[in-house]
Chains A and B, each alone.
Chain A
Amino acid sequence: MSTFLEQFDDLFIVNIPAREEAGEDSMFGAVTGSRAAAGAFDGCGGMGARKYPMFRQHTGAYMASRCISGAVRDWFFDQAGKDLGGEKEIKEGIRAYVDRAYGVCASYAESGQASRLKGSMIRPFPSTFAMAILEEGHKGSFRVHVLWAGDSRVYLLNGQGLAQLSVDDTRSTDALWALRNDPPMTNVFSSDGRYSLHYTSLEIPLPFAVFAASDGCFAYLPTPMDFENLLLKAMMEEERPVLFEKRLREDFGRIRQDDTTFAWMSAGFGSYPAMQSRLKERYEILLKNWIRPLEEGGDQAADALWQTYRTSYERYFPHQ
């Protein structure tokens, strides 16, 4: 077994559609001998509300996320055994696969009646993009490639707590402000090619978990601290990985007001009990410093508490 696989622990995906058979999120997760990837893609329901008869009346948003997850899957497996290269090669490679898939999708779409809907709120086959790729790094660490567009996010969770690795394509990078203001996105994938795919790469010491999440996971909670609490509480209270996954499904299902996709990978812990043990101290700090004061102080306390939490939350923030 490769050193990578010896250190790689787990990958699972939770996907909950807001409406059965009509979920506009899609996902991807895979492990090969030397790398693993997890991605969440959120078809944008407002911008992509147009329905296509040739796609069994599914919306542009529904088709877009699936187009992307399929293209990413092809790209990922085609890289098996090859060096991924740097930012340029990875971004160009993914774009080429996605644009090819978009081309097929759009050519079918054009065979239907032209839409009368136009304007800046409409894009052809719009979707967000959030994906993490793990590879072996220097001794005791893994390299994390982070790719994103829109407001789906890639996060890291380790003994220092939750950290956002991607930066939303919205007017502000402040995660609490985003929860309160629900800003429109300024960049999403679209078959017209007018989109940017962002990239950053980090070398992070093991152990840690990294995951991609659509906004259904985090955008309907009161604060970013509540998101970390949801994750760690579920982890601490469940005895086995399968129960942790089931618990997250239940918790996300309880708060969900949107399609929800959560694609998780963990590495370096060695076992689920070891992960619990490693993150237990962090959970206690989170409860003491933020969650209990939030419960006591409510909305009024949230701003000040967020400022004390934010430095750590943004510790890996990429400079755009």
Chain B
Amino acid sequence: MGSNYKVTYGVDMVFCIDATGSMRPLLDTVKDNALNLYEDFQNIMLEKNKYVEQLRIRIIAFRDYRADKDDAMLVTDFFEIPRQQEDLKKCLDSIVPFGGGDDPEDGLEALAYAMKSDWVREFKKKRHVIAVWTDEGTHEIGYGKAYYPGYPKGMPADFEALSRWWGSASEPGIMDENAKRLLIFAPGKDHWNKLRENWNQVLHYESEAGEGLRDWGYEDILQSICGSI
């Protein structure tokens, strides 16, 4: 063993952000959190003597296929942070809150997109983190299909199929069972509760429906992610 041996980490984060009209008062906070995350995350990890060699962030802004059609889903590639921090900022700045139709949104489709990300594989220690920010519950997956001809192909047929994508310790899905983490900042309703109760490696910061998340539990979540690495 060389005396300079050091385990390095590759961490990918996919932020699924509800960009519907009701998020107007909260969206700036979410964007700030996403932008500050690299520095805060790196500081905590360095305090723990852990070195993250690569951090990438991908953005998925979601709304409602039935109400917002072509504007229902904005999906980016991964940004390498800090090299592409400015690009990430521009992307986040481009997200404006509008639309959404009825109360529930298509957060499960956003989750499906996130799971199919081109996750980092190279590092010995890696984390694949999906974070969802929303102030509402979810439609059934596939709800928008009947109303929007452009609804994406290859989505899970139902919630059970989406659960199989996520996988479990005994039956892994498409996610790396060791690396995956799901953080949900959402009200305790619809499928968010079901996810929390039935999927492994899930952390749910529960807000009051309609009220939004005032501080988004940012510090708690950050400590949980760093503590699990």
Q: Which residues of A contact B (CB under 8 A)?
A: 18-19, 44-51, 59, 61, 115-122, 171, 179-184, 186, 220-222, 226, 229-230, 254-258, 291, 294
Contacts and interface: CB of A to CB of B under 8 A. Distances in A.
Contact of B5 (A18, A171, A180, A255): A255
Nearest to A294: B1
Given A118-B206, A119-B202, A184-B201, A46 B227 contact: yes
Nearest to B199: A120
A222 B179 CA distance: 19
Nearest to B208: A116
- Which 10 residue pairs of A and B lie closest in terms of their CB atoms, listed nearest first? A46-B228, A45-B227, A46-B227, A49-B223, A119-B202, A49-B224, A121-B203, A119-B204, A226-B1, A183-B178
B7 A220 contact: yes
A236 B54 CA distance: 38
Nearest to A16: B49
Residue of A51, A120, A258 with most chain B CB atoms under a 10 A cut-off: A120
Interface in B34-92: 47-51
B49 A118 contact: no
A221 B224 contact: no
Q: Is the interface of A mostly helix, strand, loop or mixed?
A: loop
5 contacts: A116-B207, A117-B204, A118-B203, A255-B6, A257-B6
Query: Chain B interface: which size bin?
Result: 35 or more
Contacts, number: 109
A183 B201 CA distance: 11
Given A46-B225, A171-B169, A121 B48 contact: no
A229 B1 contact: yes
A120 B177 contact: no
Given A118-B203, A183-B177, A222-B5, 12 more contacts: A45-B227, A45-B228, A46-B227, A47-B228, A51-B220, A116-B205, A120-B200, A120-B202, A220-B7, A222-B1, A230-B1, A258-B48
Contacts of B228: 45-47, 121, 184
A121 B127 CA distance: 14
B196 interface: yes
B1 A59 contact: no
Given A18-B49, A181-B178, A183-B178, A117 B203 contact: yes
Nearest to A61: B227
Given A117-B217, A118-B196, A254 B178 contact: no
